Amino acid sequence: MRALVWHGKEDIRCDTVTDPEIQDPRDAIIKVTSCAICGSDLHLFHNMIPAMLPGDILGHETMGEVVEVGKGCKGKLKKGDRIVVPFTIFCGECEQCRRGNYSCCETSNRKKELCEKVFGHTVAGLFGYTHLTGGYPGGQAEYLRVPFADTTHIKVPDSLTDEQALFLSDILPTGWQAAVQCDIEPTDTVAIWGCGPVGQMAIRSAVLLGAKQVVAIDCLPERLGMAEAGGAIPINFLEESVISRLNELTDGKGPEKCIDAVGSESHVSFAQPDTLFDRAKQLMLLENDRPHVLREMAYVCRPGGILSIPGVYLGLDDKIPMGHIMNKGLTIRTGQTHVNRWTDDLLQRIEDGQLDPSFVITHTVDLEDGPEMYRVFRDKQDSCIKVVLRP
Ligand SMILES: NC(=O)c1ccc[n+]([C@@H]2O[C@H](COP(=O)([O-])OP(=O)(O)OC[C@H]3O[C@@H](n4cnc5c(N)ncnc54)[C@H](O)[C@@H]3O)[C@@H](O)[C@H]2O)c1
Ligand SMILES: [Zn+2]
Ligand SMILES: [Zn+2]
């Protein structure tokens, strides 16, 4: 089959690889009908996350039709079913799964020892996302083996298009979880850094969950425009001071809730000198991330507020203002998304017409064009916001 394969830093190719086969009774194989490129894939593109190996198949936002089912799926899935595959692989039986903490599944990471060594504990296996999280082949491919397929799926009705359903795999529940973790009250201002696909979903979620005011921060006009269309007040951080504007919008008190939908790869600019410092430290291998947004959120957030962090961080960060966080009594909530904790509710909302996540798609191309689209998405060429690939 054809698949997008990681060969090294900024080297992704569409290769012919071996078709996946059932390896465990709980596996299923799907024929992929649509898949997408995520901001998280850019961290792999930049080789920022350790433990990728040449030959690894990328992709963790995937849907398709079930073509083969292992005997262990016990009637939960059958040939012909149309499913979205959550990016977190989960067993449904361990203590973490029983609590709904699917991204912390204790069973699904087949390279647990490696993960335990690095993080102190294992976390769930993820599709197409480094050997720290299992080294499972991803879904930017014609076919995908789904491990623990009896639990790791979201069935979708034929009434929804691929475009409406695909983002249940990741960015929709990710934006939703980020907003839910803010315990939004009707009097709250929710400030969201980053208007990429995750930020866009967080904006719609915060609006749906009844925030008084949602503010969106980025520097790309087309993304700020999409944020405004979703009900947010835009701030362009290259044109004005984020701190002053947020204070102005909240009678000098600061937003109660702050969401970091940027993560480790904050823009490097002279307007934000700490990012230059982080970049230099990254080059000297003294720091993993550029946590500018964390610093800004800790400074501007109202005392007693919540910092919700869906943005991915990779390792060790410098100059995290624990003094601000501690003295202002801020709560930090973060994590890879517990996708299936939210998807029944979100699927219902899509079916009811409350939400249509397809608004975020700007490019739909063949799988063969995937390598080129990694660049277009990374460089924000052609006003690119979200790429869907069709194998
Ligand atoms: N927690 C999870 O389970 C989960 C799931 C999916 C994605 N993610 C992460 O969420 C983050 C966003 O993903 P995405 O797909 O939207 O990526 P993206 O790269 O398309 O978007 C990031 C946006 O942040 C903006 N940005 C950069 N620096 C900024 C700054 N200082 N202030 C404000 N905005 C800034 C960029 O211009 C860009 O629009 C990534 O870190 C990704 O890895 C996490
Ligand atoms: Zn993702
Ligand atoms: Zn589990």
Does 227 contact ligand 1 (Cβ within 6 A)?
no
Does 290 contact ligand 1 (Cβ within 6 A)?
no
Does 196 contact ligand 1 (Cβ within 6 A)?
yes
Helix (H), strand (E), coil (C) string for the chain: CEEEEEEECCEEEEEECCCCCCCCCCCEEEEEEEEEECHHHHHHHCCCCCCCCCCEECCCCEEEEEEEECHHHCCCCCCCCEEEECCEECCCCCHHHHCCCHHHCCCCCCCHHHHHHHHCCCCCEEECCCHHHCCECCCCECEEEECCCCCCCEECCCCCCHHHHHHHHCHHHHHHHHHHCCCCCCCCEEEEECCCHHHHHHHHHHHHCCCCEEEEEECCHHHHHHHHHCCCEEEECCCCCHHHHHHHCCCCCCCCEEEECCCCECCCECCEHHHHHHHHHHHCCCCCCECHHHHHHHHHCCCCCEEEECCCCCCCCCCCCHHHHHHCCCEEEECCCCHHHHHHHHHHHHHCCCCCHHHHCCEEEEHHHHHHHHHHHHCCHHHCCCEEEEC
Output phi, psi for 263, to 5 deg: 85, -150
Residue 88 CA: which ligand is closest? 1
Give, for all 391 residues of the chain, the pLDDT tens digit: 999 999 999 999 999 999 999 999 999 999 999 999 999 999 999 998 889 999 999 999 999 999 999 999 989 999 999 999 999 999 999 999 999 999 999 999 999 999 999 999 999 999 999 999 999 999 999 999 999 999 999 999 999 999 999 999 999 999 999 999 999 999 999 999 999 999 999 999 999 999 999 999 999 999 999 999 999 999 999 999 999 999 999 999 999 999 999 999 999 998 899 999 999 999 999 999 999 999 999 999 999 999 999 999 988 999 999 999 999 999 999 999 999 999 999 999 999 999 999 999 999 999 999 999 999 999 999 999 999 999 9
Does 237 contact ligand 1 (Cβ within 6 A)?
yes
Which of 38, 61, 198 most suits a substitution to test ligand 1, by most atoms within 8 Å of the C-beta? Answer: 198
Structure pTM? Answer: 0.98
Query: What's the gap in Å between 39 CA and the centre of ligand 2?
Result: 6
Query: What's the gap in Å between 158 CA and the centre of ligand 3?
Result: 29
Nearest CA to ligand 1 atom 16: 196
Helix (H), strand (E), coil (C) string for 273-291: HHHHHHHHHHHCCCCCCEC
Query: What's the gap in Å between 273 CA and the centre of ligand 2?
Result: 28
Does 206 contact ligand 1 (Cβ within 6 A)?
no
Does 202 contact ligand 1 (Cβ within 6 A)?
no
| Residues forming a β-bridge with 269 | 272
